[in-house]
Structure 1
């Protein structure tokens, strides 16, 4: 990461480390610090999201790619609204994962962030929006690394499709729970007292059935729609990307 994005991510990490080591270094000060957990968690979320926004701005100079990512994010956001009556089931996580697989980690994060910010214009904005942006964004971010390091997504249209879909479905199910846990951290720090490991675990367990619904929804969307969606996004990517003839990517193909 570079510039502003790198600085904001670094600040977020410093705050996280501070909150983690303070109980060990100075228990007395940690009790005072615990009163600021709500503000601290919100600050960490804001810095992380802003850092990724600046990183996207610095990395992507093609207006076509930027417009395409914005369009996918908007489609994802609008698709969430009809599912609002079904607890925790929506296609936003699915769209975010697919985008990360095709366009890379930063683009995946952006679609997740846009999904939360835009859909909440219809469903209600609040401090939770930052953590929804962070949760969906991290799902897209890590899916980009999945493709880069394990090849998941690359085989979605060939003979290894079933195996690739299986791994992708497991990944989607896992993020059904991780997304809920990220939002629960904010809820625990803001509304729960006292802030102890016991109340933390109980807060996480309270959303188990909602997170399970989210996980099941992700698996269904991936099994039904992932192959065609990823293939379509790949075609758009090929149209907008330009590979220089003597580039390392081109020589690798030869």
Structure 2
């Protein structure tokens, strides 16, 4: 991976975390819509920058929009099962075949768009960060290659299930009185174990079901049109 691209990705993570921190401290979670919009704008920058000198920008946007729509619809279909949803799995697959920038943007957009129906709130930026990082890491060259092995992909599904729960539990602690406490955080992680396990199982199940049909089509698009290359 080129140094400039890696620097951009690290800067994106730092900016996203910084934006959330400002939202929690300066705005006390009262401007979560503004924070969410700013995060989406920041997520768009590295995506466009990574492919600005290549052809096929419209194709890339269409594929990204389709993957985002699939994840949003998947969240609706499984609305009766709060912790058992295909969102994380779809974001991971998007990152694997579309690259880290597209993976982060897909994860961020899924949170914002789906919450227009599920309800926006101070938790939205945390969901954007959690799903965005999940897709971004899956898109890193060395990792995306390893994830082509199903047993590695299953392990990543388990790890990201825990990661999502851990990031959301940070918001859980902050929502109590606006301050972070390690003891409360530990208790939040402990009480969330059943839900965290549900996240893990859902990720593995949907990854195993989706990597074949969705992954194959994305790979064909990538090869045929020469988009989303490393």
TM-score, scaled relative to structure 2: 0.79
RMSD value over aligned CA atoms? 3.4
2:45 aligned with 1:54, yes or no? yes
**CA deviation map 1:36-89 (0-9, x unaligned):** 6955xx799876654322211322341210121012111111111011111211
Q: 1-side partners of 2:11 and 2:40: how far apart?
A: 12
Structure 1 residues 66 and 82: CA distance shift in structure 2, 3 A: same
1:151 equivalent in structure 2: 145
2:91 aligned with 1:106, yes or no? no
Larger of the two Rg values belongs to structure: 1
Question: Offset of 1:190 from its aligned partner?
Answer: 2.0
Q: 1-side partners of 2:216 and 2:224: how far apart?
A: 13
Q: 2-side partners of 1:207 and 1:181: how far apart?
A: 9
2:220 equivalent in structure 1: 235
Secondary structure (helix, strand or coil) at the match of 2:110 reads helix
2:192 equivalent in structure 1: 207
TM-score, scaled relative to structure 1: 0.72
Question: Offset of 1:166 from its aligned partner?
Answer: 0.7
Q: 1-side partners of 2:8 and 2:156: how far apart?
A: 31
Gap regions ≥5 residues in structure 2 = none
* Map 1:59-208 → 2, pairs under 5 A: 59-61=50-52, 62-145=57-140, 147-149=141-143, 151-153=145-147, 156=148, 164-192=149-177, 195-208=180-193
Secondary structure (helix, strand or coil) at the match of 1:88 reads coil
Gap regions ≥5 residues in structure 1 = 20-33, 157-163, 244-248, 250-254
Question: Offset of 1:169 from its aligned partner?
Answer: 0.6
Give the conservation status (yes or no) of the 8 Å contact 1:91–1:218. Answer: yes
Secondary structure (helix, strand or coil) at the match of 1:110 reads helix
Give the conservation status (yes or no) of the 8 Å contact 1:38–1:189. Answer: no
Q: 2-side partners of 1:229 and 1:242: how far apart?
A: 16
1:161 equivalent in structure 2: none
- Aligned pairs, number: 217
Structure 1 residues 148 and 132: CA distance shift in structure 2, 3 A: same
Which one has more relative contact order, counting CA pairs under 8 Å at least 6 apart?
2
Q: 2-side partners of 1:198 and 1:228: how far apart?
A: 44
Q: 1-side partners of 2:44 and 2:205: how far apart?
A: 30
